[in-house]
Amino acid sequence: GRQNMGTQAAENFEPPAKDVRTDEQKKIDDWLPITSSRNAKWWYSAFHNVTAMVGAGVLSLPYAMSELGWGPGIAVLIISWVITLYTLWQMVEMHEMVPGKRFDRYHELGQHAFGDKLGLWIVVPQQLIVEVGVNIVYMVTGGRSLKKFHDVICDGKCKDIKLTFFIMIFASVHFVLSQLPNLNSISGVSLAAAVMSLSYSTIAWGASVDKGKMVDVDYNLRATTTPGKVFGFFGALGEVAFAYAGHNVVLEIQATIPSTPEKPSKKPMWKGVVVAYIVVALCYFPVALIGYWAFGNSVDDNILITLNKPTWLIATANMMVVIHVIGSYQIYAMPVFDMIETVLVKKLKFPPGLTLRLIARTLYVAFTMFVAITFPFFGGLLGFFGGFAFAPTTYFLPCIMWLAIYKPKRFSLSWFTNWVCIVLGVCLMILSPIGGLRQIILDSKTYKFYS
């Protein structure tokens, strides 16, 4: 960020009267991860959005379909795609709604909509649950995919290694990568991750097509009892909500794009988002529909596990998941690093610099690693927490902010659209944790710590 200090002032085009920051604060803002570097191209936003959005969650979509059935399954996937694209558009629009100011972080927009105190309390806990939750899940996913890669290649000929060690191996990458200062500096990692998500999604549905429909495929709901069906349905809603949750980092991604009054950042950002959403559709729909078509209700909660052969292909796909999750982890960790560093530097007055970063970020990576090792059944936990945090931040919090800020006329199209999203989002928030909680209780019977 140092070399563009000159262009920095010009890009933010704030007349001196408006910029109330002291030199000290400016220095800190130029050092913090989210505001340090504003020279991203529109296609960076496309990779970042794909990487943030298409998690390994795509691999559990056929399983979600098996709990929803054909009609509701397709409906939930499409409605989620439309609603989340709409709320993403709202966030991109609101990023610079106050002339000469940018809401670089989700909670800054929250503070503008709900007031300084309340805005923080509404947004920050939810954002932290999502970001830290995703980071923990990705530790587990990364470790699991490494283990699967090892087991597929070994084919029973090597010593069995515990999941715990694979999670540690996966974490070791992040101790190094987490030292990259900001989102622009990880755009290479992010591009690799975005390419991987398209690749392993394609392998997942391609291998399913190749295998063809199972002889005795069954499209009845996976559960046989009524409670099983109902709770399974709720749980599946949480899985789909998780698959569409990229909004927690969208303002932070947009903050990396330069902006002038003639060329506001929302134009290149929106272009990136549209490209990202096309890629998301190309990943999600074929995997969900073809995976379910081929295996029906006997599909595993990760389609790559259902597909055991050909060996080299499944090994490759698992390695791709690992690379993708490495990139995703970093994108979700960056706003958390930003929050931690803001508190340390602005509130607790620590001097900004390498030492602070080294210690703070290393501790964070270690924390997510330990939680992942302790609770590898975190997927169920995610359905539980996911409902509480993914549904609001992705499906309806942007709508509430929109209503609070723009105050559209009652019963106008904008008013209706936002209220429909809010009602659906609240239902999602209430129902999906119920399904997740039941899954945790069922899993906990068979669970051994530190296995």
pLDDT in tens, 31-71: 888 877 788 888 888 888 888 887 767 888 998 899 998 99
Q: How confident is the model over 276-332, as pLDDT tens digits?
A: 999 999 989 999 999 999 988 888 877 877 777 778 888 998 899 899 989 889 988
The predicted pLDDT at position 3 comes to 47
DSSP 128-167: HHHHHHHHHHHHHHHHHHHHHHHHHHHTT-S----HHHHH
- Measured at the CA of 387, the angle between CA 335 and CA 140, to 5 degrees, comes to 60
Asked if the model's pLDDT at residue 10 lies above 60, the reply is no
**Segment of 222-236, 363-377, 380-394 carrying the highest mean pLDDT:** 363-377
Domains of the chain: 34-444 (1.20.1740.10)
Q: Which percentage of the chain shows pLDDT scores above 90? A: 33
pLDDT given for residue 447 in this prediction: 63
Distance CA 71, CA 44 (A): 36
How does DSSP classify residue 100? T
Mean pLDDT lowest for which of 122-131, 180-189, 208-217?
180-189
| Per-residue pLDDT at 8 | 45
Q: Please give the pLDDT value at position 175.
A: 93
pLDDT for the residue 6: 45
Please tell me the predicted confidence (pLDDT) of residue 17. Answer: 44
- CA distances for 68 relative to 32, 76, 229, 340, 434, angstroms: 43, 9, 8, 39, 15
